[in-house]
Chains A and B, each alone.
Chain A
Amino acid sequence: MNPKDLKYAKTHEWVRAEGDTLLVGLTRFAVDQLTDVTYIELPKAGAKVKAGEGMGEIESVKAVSDIYAPVSGEVVAVNGALAADASLVSRDPYGDGWLVRVRPDAVGPLDHLMAAEDYSKQTEGQ
């Protein structure tokens, strides 16, 4: 079940508004498809990311996949726990397995992202 308080990108990232920043992670659907995650590379704090463009990479079972920024802004924090244990992203994708915290360039309702039920429809049958 995808948490209803989050917004979702079609590229399988989630976004949670927390004050003036946005927490970003990978969805349960995405990590279930990836299976055993072995490496993850994320932008450094201070990096600028652009919505829809690659911001990191993740490796699982010999497949490297791009991770896309769901919003434009500045990365203000990176989940350092993932450097020691990348599998955290699989075990708790909506909690301790979060990826980065972004201060968005523009404050707004994130209309370009999907609600939980729309994202669930996208992933149904896949």
Chain B
Amino acid sequence: MLAQEKTLRLLPLEVNFGQQAMALDEVLLEKAAQGQASLRFYQWASPTVSLGYFQPFDASFYFKGLEVVRRPTGGDLLIHHHELTYALALPEEMVPQKVEELACMVHRAIASLLEKLGVPTGCQSAKGKLEMPAAPEGVLCFLHPAAGDVLVNGCKVVGSAQRRRQGGLVQHGSVLLNSSSHAPWLKGVLDFYPIHVSTAELAKLLSAEIPLALNLITKVDSWTQTELDRAAYLVECRYGSADWTNRR
């Protein structure tokens, strides 16, 4: 648990296109560097490939026809389709120094909620690899569980990545709900346990569970016009630009 009780701004659940999602997450990072902690949940407007910051663009060639974005965060490729995504941005003074620690804290909170909903979960103990011969080799994040990732029936269903800057960080992550036809090798929570909870309800429940685990008080809020303008600028000059997406 983080030592001091502080306020976490809670933004509404929304549906974003990939470029917009990355831009809004970066806006949260900029706000975190200015001292504002935030949490938001979103879904994806269309099936989207996201590449890790250092990942080569040609990793996306396995998934032709899908929108492709490059994340500001590390890790491997994800297919965002039937999932709930969170973004948590914290000022430096609220961040545990060990990179994995924050991811594990959030993952434990998600696992705890899934357990309450009747889904037995496991936790990846060390960096691993899930064998799936038909899947593209060495590309998909959800076939490479890291320590602390959440497992259901031995499959990774929750994973996260971070971007750290002086002053703060943003951590975003996916809760895989159902398998996507674009990545049929990966199974989601509801494929194993068809619990009756809508995505909006899940987001609402996690909006309570995650802050509780981090000892943060939430304050419901909405985007300011300045933030939306900044996100639009970041879409234009970065996340919507081929120079950014194809850079490696």
User: Using a CB–CB distance below 8 Å, which chain A residues touch chain B?
Assistant: 11, 33-36, 38-39, 41, 54, 57, 59-66, 68, 126
Q: How far is the CB of A13 from chain B (nearest CB, A)?
A: 11
Distance A61 CA – B164 CA, assembled complex (angstroms): 12
Write out the residue numbers on chain B whose beta carbons fall within 8 Å of the beta carbon of A35.
Answer: 98-100
Write out the residue numbers on chain A whose beta carbons fall within 8 Å of the beta carbon of B165.
Answer: 54, 65-66
In the complex, per-residue mask of B138-172: 1 if CB is within 8 Å of any chain A CB, else 0: 00000000100000000000011111111001000
Q: Is there contact, CB below 8 Å, between B54 and A59?
A: yes
Asked, given contacts A33-B99, A35-B100, whether A65 binds B73 with beta carbons under 8 Å apart, the answer is: no
Q: How far is the CB of A43 from chain B (nearest CB, A)?
A: 15
User: Using a CB–CB distance below 8 Å, which chain B residues touch chain A?
Assistant: 52-54, 72-75, 97-100, 103, 127, 146, 159-166, 169
23 intermolecular pairs with C-beta atoms under 8 Å apart: A11-B166, A33-B97, A36-B127, A39-B54, A41-B54, A59-B74, A60-B99, A61-B99, A61-B146, A62-B52, A62-B73, A62-B99, A62-B160, A62-B161, A63-B73, A63-B163, A63-B164, A63-B169, A64-B54, A64-B73, A64-B162, A65-B165, A66-B164
Write out the residue numbers on chain B whose beta carbons fall within 8 Å of the beta carbon of A63.
Answer: 73-74, 99, 161-164, 169
Q: Is there contact, CB below 8 Å, between A68 and B54?
A: no
- The residue on A at minimum CB distance from B165 is A66
Distance A126 CA – B74 CA, assembled complex (angstroms): 23
Write out the residue numbers on chain B whose beta carbons fall within 8 Å of the beta carbon of A11.
Answer: 166
Q: How far is the CB of B164 from chain A (nearest CB, A)?
A: 4
Distance A123 CA – B103 CA, assembled complex (angstroms): 22
Asked, given contacts A11-B166, A59-B74, whether A64 binds B99 with beta carbons under 8 Å apart, the answer is: no
- The 3 A-B pairs of least Cβ separation, nearest first, read A63-B162, A62-B75, A39-B54
**Additional A-B contact list (16), CB under 8 Å, known A61-B99, A64-B72, A65-B165:** A33-B98, A35-B99, A36-B127, A57-B54, A59-B52, A59-B54, A60-B99, A61-B74, A62-B52, A62-B146, A62-B161, A63-B99, A64-B73, A64-B162, A64-B163, A68-B166
Write out the residue numbers on chain B whose beta carbons fall within 8 Å of the beta carbon of A64.
Answer: 53-54, 72-74, 161-164
Q: Is there contact, CB below 8 Å, between B100 and A61?
A: yes
Q: How far is the CB of A31 from chain B (nearest CB, A)?
A: 12
Distance A68 CA – B165 CA, assembled complex (angstroms): 9
Which of A34, A54, A65 gathers most chain B CB within 10 Å? A65
